[in-house]
Amino acid sequence: MISRPTWAALASLLAMAACQERQTPAQPSTPAEQGPSTPDTRTETRAGPRASRDGLIEPSQDLGGSLPLKHGIFVAGDIACSDPPNAAIRRYDGLGLNGAHTRDCRINVLQKRGAAYEIEQSCIDAGSGPAPRSSERATIEIKDNLTFTMRRGQGGETFRYCAPSLLPPALKTWSTAADPTRN
């Protein structure tokens, strides 16, 4: 038989154990008890996955303007960001897509269908100095804010964003040059 003092001690121990259980929730021990996993919010945003192909693309703060693209330098195809030829470079500044030999480009969106934008873009056809302004029509298909395909006629060329940290020094300067969409 258990004596009275022993019953009192046992009751105290049980009461303390019950209090601790209320303060510290039990941790699930198996994956089935854990339930569905939570996405890694460090690499996802409302716009979708944000992890870089190179792991160095920073989250977009400066989207928008004529097209929903990140402002900065885009390079064609599988060309390395570290040494792209002039013909493979486009700079989006919120108003237009400038090439290495065009400036002051202005996009006018004529029609939008899903992720495709039919545009007319006018540019000054020289990197510097006096030159005429010319216009051309194209369709821009936007995969995400870091990737687009420009189609003229039947052909198309895909461009991807390059973070300033991946660019050669001359392009780093151009990518961070005054952005006309910022105050």
Phi and psi at 158, nearest 5°, equal -95, 140
Q: Could you give the CA distance from residue 142 to residue 69 in angstroms, rounded to a whole number? A: 8
> What is the rounded average pLDDT of the residues 68-77?
94
Structural domain includes residue 51 = no
User: What's the whole-number average pLDDT of the chain?
Assistant: 74
Structural domain includes residue 151 = yes
pLDDT at 172: 84
Structural domain includes residue 38 = no
Structural domain includes residue 160 = yes
- pLDDT tens digit string along 97-117? 999 889 999 999 999 999 999
Which residues lie closer than 8 Å to 126 by C-beta, 6 or more apart? 101, 102, 103
Structural domain includes residue 111 = yes
Structural domain includes residue 24 = no
**Contact between 121 and 135 (Cβ < 8 Å):** yes
Structural domain includes residue 180 = no
> Which residue range is the domain that position 111 belongs to?
64-175
pLDDT at 131: 86
- pLDDT tens digit string along 163-178? 999 999 988 877 666 5
Structural domain includes residue 14 = no
Domain count, the chain: 1
